[in-house]
């Protein structure tokens, strides 16, 4: 390759794709998070680590506290939850707040769909969810219901199944988790979970 060609190609290369306007640096000592949750916390299905971008800081903080206190992730069948619990165990309250704040600043595109469910059946089912999570899955802080419409569809399926099967939301001190466990009684099967996730995924 000639030098001129190289220079030209480098110039072209920088125009070849859109560089994201803003990248948020990983706070010092938290590069562990991006190993599993990916660049800009975009999520990684292979590790079972969900996209965190778009989640509200209050929700992230609550879940990190739940992991830390063993309210979430301690059920032996919740494998990824168990892995997460270990990561959070030694974090201080300040670090947890820092992470929650960082999550809101990350920039990643909405993930691609991976689940094929029946969107119409999912829509019907979602009506009972909407009262807390909102018509568009936008979440409701006052009710403690997280935003859903930026999550990976496979992650929604996993968590719906975990609530349904009692792997999440069974700890008595996990008030919101218990509420969700009760609410998840409309989800009766893997299929229901897939339908619901398919519908929630496309909400904006």
Partner 1 sequence: MLNITRRQFLTYVGAAGGSSALLKTSLALGLTPESAYEGPVNIKPAAKGEKPTALILGAGIAGLATALELEQAGYECTILEASFRPGGRNLTVRHGDKIDEMGRPQICNFDKQDNLFFNCGPARIPGHHRRILHYCRTLNVPLQIKANSSKMAYFHDEKSLGGKPKRIIEYHTDVRGLMSELLWKAADNNQYDQFLSEEDVAKLMSFSKTYGDLTENGKYIGSERAGSTTDRMLDFPVPNVPIELKAMLDSSFWYGGLLGAEQFDWCEPLMEPVGGMDAVVKGFLRKLKTKPVLNAQVKKIFNTDNGVEVTYEQGGSFKTIKADYCFNNIPAYFMAGIENNFDGTYQKALNSIKRGHLFKIAYQMKERFWERDGIYGGISYTTGPIGQIWYPSHDINAQKGILLGAYTWDGKATAMFEALSHEDRLKVGAANAEKIHPGYSKYIENGISIPWGRMNHQMGCGMRLDKDVWDDYFPLLQKPEGRHFMIGDQISHHSGWQEGALASSEQALQQLNKLVELNANKKGASYAR
Binding positions for partner 1, 108-147, rule CB under 8 A? none
As a dihedral over the C-alpha atoms of residue 53, residue 55, residue 56, residue 58, rounded to 10 degrees, the angle is -110
Binding mask 23-42 for partner 1 (x = CB under 8 A): x-xxxx--xx-xxxxxxx-x
CB atoms within 10 A of CB 136: 13
Q: Which of 21, 46, 92, 172 binds partner 1 (CB under 8 A)?
A: 46
Contact stretch for partner 1 (CB under 8 A) within 10-18, 97-105, 122-130, 162-170: 10-18
Choice between 89 and 166, CB closer to partner 1: 89
> Is residue 92 near partner 1 by the rule CB under 8 A?
no
DSSP letters spanning the chain:
--HHHHHHHHHHHHHSSPPPS--PPPPTT-HHHHHHH-GGG--BTTTTBPP-TT--HHHHHHHHHHHHTTSSS-STT-HHHHHHHHHHTT--HHHHHHHHHHHHH---PPPPP-----HHHHHHHHHHHHHHH-TTS--BGGGTBPP-TTS-HHHHHHHHHHHHHTSSS-STT-HHHHHHHHHGGG--SHHHHHHHHHHHHT--
> Is residue 204 near partner 1 by the rule CB under 8 A?
no
> Is residue 186 near partner 1 by the rule CB under 8 A?
no
Token pair, residue 55, equals 């989640």
Q: Least distance to partner 1 from the beta carbon of 13, Å? A: 4
Contact stretch for partner 1 (CB under 8 A) within 58-66, 83-91, 117-125, 130-138: 83-91
Q: Least distance to partner 1 from the beta carbon of 196, Å? A: 23
> Is residue 83 near partner 1 by the rule CB under 8 A?
yes
Q: Which of 52, 78, 87, 201 binds partner 1 (CB under 8 A)?
A: 87
Please give the residue ranges that form the binding site for partner 1 (CB under 8 A): 1-3, 5-6, 9-10, 12-14, 16-17, 23, 25-28, 31-32, 34-40, 42-47, 49, 76, 79, 82-83, 86-90
């Amino acid at each position: 390759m000639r030098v001129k060609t190289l220079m030209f190609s480098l110039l072209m290369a920088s125009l070849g794709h859109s560089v994201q306007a803003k990248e948020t640096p990983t706070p010092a000592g938290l590069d562990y998070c991006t190993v599993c949750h990916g660049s800009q916390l975009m999520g990684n299905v292979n590790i079972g680590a969900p996209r965190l971008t778009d989640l509200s800081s209050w929700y992230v903080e609550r879940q990190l506290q739940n992991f830390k206190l063993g309210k979430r992730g301690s059920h032996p069948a919740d494998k990824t939850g168990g892995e997460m619990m270990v990561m959070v165990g030694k974090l201080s309250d300040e670090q947890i707040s820092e992470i929650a704040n960082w999550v809101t600043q990350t920039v990643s595109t909405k993930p691609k769909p991976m689940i094929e469910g029946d969107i119409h059946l999912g829509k019907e089912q979602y009506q009972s969810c909407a009262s807390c999570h909102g018509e568009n899955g936008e979440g409701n802080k006052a009710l403690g219901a997280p935003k859903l419409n930026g999550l990976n569809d496979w992650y929604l399926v996993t968590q719906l199944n975990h609530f349904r099967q009692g792997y999440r939301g069974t700890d008595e001190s996990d008030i919101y988790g218990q509420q969700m466990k009760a609410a998840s009684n409309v989800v009766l099967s893997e299929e229901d979970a897939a339908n619901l996730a398919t519908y929630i995924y496309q909400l904006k």
